[in-house]
Structure 1
Amino acid sequence: MTEPAHLAAIRASYDAVAADYLRLVVPPEGMDPVSRAMLAAFAELVRESGGGEVADLGCGPGRVTAYLSGLGLRAFGVDVSGEMVALARRAYPRLRFLHGSMGALDLPDGALGGILAWYSVHHTPTSQLPGLFAEFARVLAPGGHLLLGGHVGEAQLLRPTQAYGHPVSYASHLVPAGHLAELLEQAGFTVTTRLEQPHPQRENRSHACLLAQAPGRR
């Protein structure tokens, strides 16, 4: 099967920037208090729901995966970039990191107690978000938890040519947080919390966190 063009661009771009991404991006311990609080709340919700494995989708070099592990979760990472997965495996050899796409997970139905998608969904074309969220719903156990964090804004397509000091070919597809919430609801999730923080330098852009829960057992 031919790989979708946007996935090929994400893989090539993050393979190229991996080492400098690790050097330049703030680790979880240095995140703003709201982001760290949302990660902690997510971890507590998963633990209170009986645990289960948690997938960090778009895990990059694995630092957030390790942070979740430190919060008491059985976390593993998945990333489409082989270079990112290699960095993660070297840094955290006791954790599991898989090379793959978040839109086609090699996991059985209902396998996970939680999913974290942290600053990774915005690379997915907006038209493909319903399918992506359906895949999240498929692999979550009934009542499982999802934390989605990332860039939001008025609908726009951004095509940077440079990032982290390297040429890149991926795109960022920004949509309003409300639209993400609607798409999650359409996929069967119940959105329980939605927080937005204005971008400090750019108008019409925000950072958003959405907590959602998969349908419970009937």
Structure 2
Amino acid sequence: MKKDFFGNDKHVFWEALVVAVFIFGIGIIFGIFLENSRAERISEIYSTSEINLLDLQIQTELLGVENINCEQAVKKNIEFADKVYEDAKILEEYERASRLKENLVQQHERYDLLRTLLWLNSLKIKERCDGGNFHTVVYLYDYLPEDIEEKNKQAVFSRFLEELKEEKGDTIILIPIAKNLDISSLDLLIEGYGIEQTSIILDETLVVEELSDLNKIEEKIDSSL
């Protein structure tokens, strides 16, 4: 009887081990599938946005050679900027959920290039359409910061800008761009501002780097209305 008892106990142990390994394997496969699905979804969103931006850039170039309606150009630019902003929220959610963050870095870089082009396009529209009747709010932050103080600062900046966008709506174009991913075109664009930390640039004139100065952004926007 004793021999049978240990034999049964050993049999149960191996059954439990096989089940545990099977479940663990299924979990790994599902995790890989989920990560790949996220990456594919981000790639699809980016491809659509890239096409829309190219179309928008062509429209902007036409402002210089044809009698194109500036009001329509501004409207399309704002609509695209709002879509890119919403896409950024989706990307942020995926990044928080992902365990393989390095797989998303390249996608993030592509989006930051896209947002840099959006900023340049907005500048062209402002130049050719007498200011464009909108404000550009460019948020330059660090991607995946390790410093706790920096994380907290960026959280406050992000919350402030989200509330500002909800309040001001189409009067502002909000463009968040990670500044620490070695994007040469972005580095050249912000070189003249002397930016070394998380910052917000309003209408290419006001640079805010401190939490205590956030109110200056809303004050300047309100004063122009």
Q: Which bracket does the TM-score occupy, shorter chain normalised?
A: under 0.3
TM-score (norm 1): 0.23
TM-score (norm 2): 0.23
Which structure: larger Rg?
A: 2
Structure with the higher strand share, 1 or 2: 1
